[in-house]
Amino acid sequence: MTQATLPDTHADRGKRSFWRRNQIAISPWLFLAPGVIFFLIYVIFPVFQSFQISTLRWDGLGDPEYIGLENYRELWDDPAFYVSLKNNVLWLLLYLLAIPAGLFIALFLNQTVTGIRLYKSLFFFPFVISQVVVGLVFTWFYDPTFGLLNVMLGWFGLGPINVLGDPTYVTYGIIAAGLWPQTAYCMILYLTGLNGVNPEQIEAGRLDNARGWRMLWHIIIPQLKPATFIAFVVTIIGALRSFDLISVMTNGGPFGESRVLSFYMFEVALSEYGFRMGYGAAIAVVLFLIMLIFIAYFLWSMYRETRGR
């Protein structure tokens, strides 16, 4: 290396090999290549393939038939699609409650008491167990005849509620189950964030007579901005991939009232009664467009951050 670079300053450039001349420019791309190639094959290419499949009528076995935008037209009139879309919005909005909830638990646990590590790990516990287990635990919790929830409601003289069997409560019931591990996740993000809060700024705030909410709002939270951003990202992603809880707890029911787009797509394209690949792909495209809004926002804010440095 050193041998090559030393005489370079005044050597005639034409004689140097292509590799020598472009080494610095090419190397990063070589290192990136495996990742980029797999990303193209397994992420970018299927995105376009979905667009293409969504214009077909195809059961995955026979010959596909081109039907243009017919699948989207059908989607437009499909009540099940609107139910799923509405539930997706509910998930996105209500799942964000995990962020303030996580923050407050983190603030509560951010103190030095004997055994605080144990308490912290207990609070973090729901995030460690599988979503399927969380789903099962909550299914039993909600059970209309034997479930703990209805026993507890009984203490206040309230009638039994069939949370997972009633179309009005079912989505909220599942979101509540999902919030349990998600809050733990946000909590751990904020706990690490709180370690990085500058004690001098807090001291300065104290001198200026800030305490309680004012201290939290003006001094602590601005410093937690990176943690909040990550918590926001993981929560949005968590809300959009809420598939497993729904599958375990209700299987989309009762009569499809708890489906979200990803679950509906699975049912239409891949489940026992499905195999309408084109229609499933059309739902996937709509889901992708929704995600695109968030992806664009995340990319934009990350771009702004790197430029700000």
Partner 1 sequence: MVSKLKTSLAALGLSTALATSMVSGAFAAAHETPLTGDLVIFSDMSNPAPRAVMEGMVARFKEMNPDLNIELTIIDREAYKTQIRNFLTANSPDVANWYAGNRMAPYVDAGLFEDISDVWEGDMSENLASTKGALTIDGKQYGVPYTYYQWGVYYRKDIYDQYGLSEPEDWETLKSNCQTLLDNGVKCFTIGTKFLWTAAGWFDYLNMRTNGFDYHMKLTAGEIPWTDEGVKKTFANWRELIDMGAYIDNHTAYSWQEALPFMLNGEAAAYLMGNFAVAPMREGGLTDDQLDYYQFPTITPDTPKGEDAPTDTFHIPSSAKNKENAKAFLKFVTSAENQTLINAGDALGQLPVNAQSSVDDDKFLKEGFDVLSNKAPGGIAQFFDRDAPAEMAKVAMEGFQEFMVRPDNIDRILDRLENARERIYK
Q: Which segments of the chain are extended strands (E)? A: 56-57, 65-66
> Which residue stretch of 46-54, 60-68, 192-200, 229-237 sits at the interface with partner 1 (rule: CB under 8 A)?
60-68
Binding mask 141-160 for partner 1 (x = CB under 8 A): -xxxx--------------x
> Which residue stretch of 88-96, 113-121, 204-212, 270-278 sits at the interface with partner 1 (rule: CB under 8 A)?
270-278
Please report how close the Cβ of residue 140 comes to partner 1 at its closest, in angstroms: 11
Please report how close the Cβ of residue 50 comes to partner 1 at its closest, in angstroms: 19
- CA dist 171 and 203 (Å) reads 45
> What are the Cα distances from residue 81, in Å, to 4, 195, 242?
64, 45, 16
Q: Which residue lies nearer to partner 1 by CB, 166 or 203?
A: 166
Q: Does 65 bind partner 1 (CB under 8 A)?
A: no
Binding to partner 1 in span 73-112, by CB under 8 A: 74, 79
Binding mask 2-31 for partner 1 (x = CB under 8 A): ------------------------------
- CA dist 255 and 252 (Å) reads 7
Binding to partner 1 in span 208-267, by CB under 8 A: 250-251, 253-256, 267
Helices (H), the chain: 2-5, 18-39, 45-53, 70-76, 79-95, 98-109, 116-128, 131-142, 148-155, 170-195, 199-207, 212-215, 221-223, 225-240, 243-249, 261-269, 277-308
Q: Which residue lies nearer to partner 1 by CB, 156 or 273?
A: 273
Torsion 128-130-133-135 (CA) sign: positive
- CA dist 20 and 27 (Å) reads 11
Binding to partner 1 in span 105-144, by CB under 8 A: 142-144
Please report how close the Cβ of residue 16 comes to partner 1 at its closest, in angstroms: 51
Do the beta carbons of residue 266 and residue 279 sit within 8 Å?
Answer: no
Before 100, cis peptide (omega within 30)?
no
Please report how close the Cβ of residue 243 comes to partner 1 at its closest, in angstroms: 16
Q: Does 280 bind partner 1 (CB under 8 A)?
A: no
Residue of 97, 165, 229, 244 that binds partner 1 (CB under 8 A): 165
Residue of 31, 40, 59, 82 that binds partner 1 (CB under 8 A): 59
- CA dist 47 and 183 (Å) reads 31
- CA dist 69 and 66 (Å) reads 9
Q: Which residues bind partner 1 (CB under 8 A)?
A: 59-62, 74, 79, 142-145, 160, 162, 164-167, 250-251, 253-256, 267, 270-276
